Chain A
Amino acid sequence: MSEDESAALPTPPAGGNAPLLPPDSGRDRPLFAVAAILVFLACLAALGARGAWTSSDRWMNDLTGSLTVQIRPADGRDASDDAESAARLIGDMPGVLSAEARTRADSEALLEPWFGSGGLPEDLPVPLLVDVRLDDAGVLDVEDVRETLSEAGISADVDDHGRWSDAVARASQMARLLALGLLTLILGAAAAVIAFAARASLAARQDVADALHIVGATDSYIAGLFQRRFFSLGLKAGAAGAGFAALIAVLVAVGGSNADALYFLPELLFSPFEIAALAAAPLIAGAVAALSARLAVEEELRKRW
């Protein structure tokens, strides 16, 4: 070396260390878009799963928390009086929140789709209904209701909706499984896409990985570089996807009656669950991306040597 060079006073440059992985810039953009879309779909699936859960619970509560008593018209008896008596008798039974007798007009309204709106002849006997709401304990025995009404001389059918509740329970369970399955599939797809991208990224940065290996970097160290990069990407893509999902959910919620039509879309946007799910989505996306990238890179590195 020259004398001048040897005599130069060495001064280390100021500042911190630059990232060991060079920026991928344009290469990451399509992956970012795909990840953001997957997170968006995952958020909708998660909110949908929540919607399916709450809807299922509501359906089941509606069915198991009520009875319908049908007062049959009988010769020599006033059906309206029987309905009132039945409502009073049932209302006094333990486990009953309320029992309300419906009028003949209510029954005619129910029959309107079959008989038209012209009204029924006054002398045509029409069954009357009693709506019974039960408390959560559900201690009321249907047989007790039948026996009580029979002792009072009231001719009635008691429907505890049992034949519907099984079918609804099965449908509810199916809806829940479907939503959870969809969520799992989307998360799996996201993990697979990230793993593929991480392998591609490693292949594109083979020179960096080789240089690091040669200077003594462990597999874990190299995988950690990719893990951090993909965590950051997952986090940003997650934030974008979750933000868009939140926007859609708000639009659906604000849409009012439209939300009823889209039954499984979120109805409770601002409940703690929805807010927590949307807030956690970027972190979960980052974690899935980081883990996928780490496992993929470690697997690739293990194939060497």
Chain B
Amino acid sequence: MTETGVNPFPQSESEVIVRFDSVGMRYGRGPEILKDVSFELPRGSFTFLTGPSGAGKTSLLRLIYMAHKASRGVVEHFGHDTAALRRKDLPDLRRRIGVVFQEFRMLGHLSVFENVALPLRVAGRKRAEYAEDIAELINWVGLAHHMESRPATLSGGEQQRVAIARAVVNQPELLIADEPTGNVDPEMARRLLRLFVELNRLGTTVLIATHDLTLVRALDAPVMSLADGRLTYRERAA
């Protein structure tokens, strides 16, 4: 580990989790949001995605977690060209990706426990099989006393930790976080970052989209920058 804790030794340098090649994207017949975007996320890497609001960060993430199709170019997940995938193949791939949204996207009528367990429940696992693991995970993110609380009763930072727990519960190979520190104070941002670093150290590929340069500078990690839909890439934060 480096002093910052980012995993400098991805398990396999040659294995690529996500690959974009000359990707363009537009919504309907609107203007092109992403233009000729090309990059690779090697397995076990930790990468930042930065850019001003409206640069296309969220759109790029939507392509990565397969909520949208590219208008052109090649998008590969785990070596599969997504354009060639059948719709019924998508859920299996999505289960290999954990997503943390800026707005959390919790199910408000479910408890913290049930929100975190959602990916396992959807995968058909029995509650008895995972109940203790979920409780332990919730404890790990520091919310053991909120196990049965509804998300709306939690603070922004607490909800963010629930979202992170949900994103990692099925041990995804890729973790995506969209502005994960956007709703929390600097101290909570620092703690969340430590959480991401710990997950990366355990082998998860991490991509964090943020416009918080303080967060980016805190780690010695590669940075992808989007501006007006075009991507630039640099190995380390400036």
Q: Which residues of A contact B (CB under 8 A)?
A: 1-2, 5-6, 8-13, 16-18, 20, 22-23, 207-208, 210-219, 221, 302, 304-305
**Alpha-carbon gap, A63 to B83, bound state (A):** 70
Interchain CB contact under 8 A, A13 and B142: no
Interchain CB contact under 8 A, B145 and A8: yes
Top 10 nearest A-B pairs by Cβ distance? A10-B135, A216-B95, A1-B142, A12-B131, A10-B139, A5-B142, A22-B109, A215-B119, A8-B144, A12-B135
Interchain CB contact under 8 A, A18 and B110: yes
Interchain CB contact under 8 A, B127 and A216: no
**Alpha-carbon gap, A1 to B87, bound state (A):** 40
Contacts of B141 in A (CB 8 A): 1
Q: Scan residues 13-71 of chain B and give those whose CB is less than 8 A from a CB of chain A.
A: 65-69
- B132 proximal to A (CB < 8 A): yes
Name 14 A/B residue pairs within 8 A (Cβ), A-sorted: A6-B139, A9-B139, A10-B136, A12-B132, A12-B135, A20-B107, A22-B107, A22-B108, A208-B107, A215-B94, A215-B95, A215-B118, A302-B87, A305-B68
Given A5-B144, A8-B144, A10-B136, A216–B119 Cβ distance below 8 Å? yes
- B81 proximal to A (CB < 8 A): no
Interchain CB contact under 8 A, B109 and A13: no
Interchain CB contact under 8 A, B109 and A10: no
Do most interface residues of chain A lie in helix, strand or loop, or is the interface mixed?
Answer: loop
Residue of A nearest to B104 (CB): A211
- B235 proximal to A (CB < 8 A): no
Interchain CB contact under 8 A, A13 and B111: yes
Contacts of B179 in A (CB 8 A): none
Contacts of A22 in B (CB 8 A): 107-109
Smallest distance from the beta carbon of A304 to chain B beta carbons, Å?
A: 8
- B90 proximal to A (CB < 8 A): yes
- B174 proximal to A (CB < 8 A): no
Residue of B nearest to A218 (CB): B91
Smallest distance from the beta carbon of A241 to chain B beta carbons, Å?
A: 29
**Alpha-carbon gap, A220 to B221, bound state (A):** 40
Interchain CB contact under 8 A, B99 and A214: yes
- B92 proximal to A (CB < 8 A): yes
Q: Scan residues 95-138 of chain B and give those whose CB is less than 8 A from a CB of chain A.
A: 95, 99, 105-111, 113-114, 118-119, 121-123, 127, 131-132, 134-136, 138
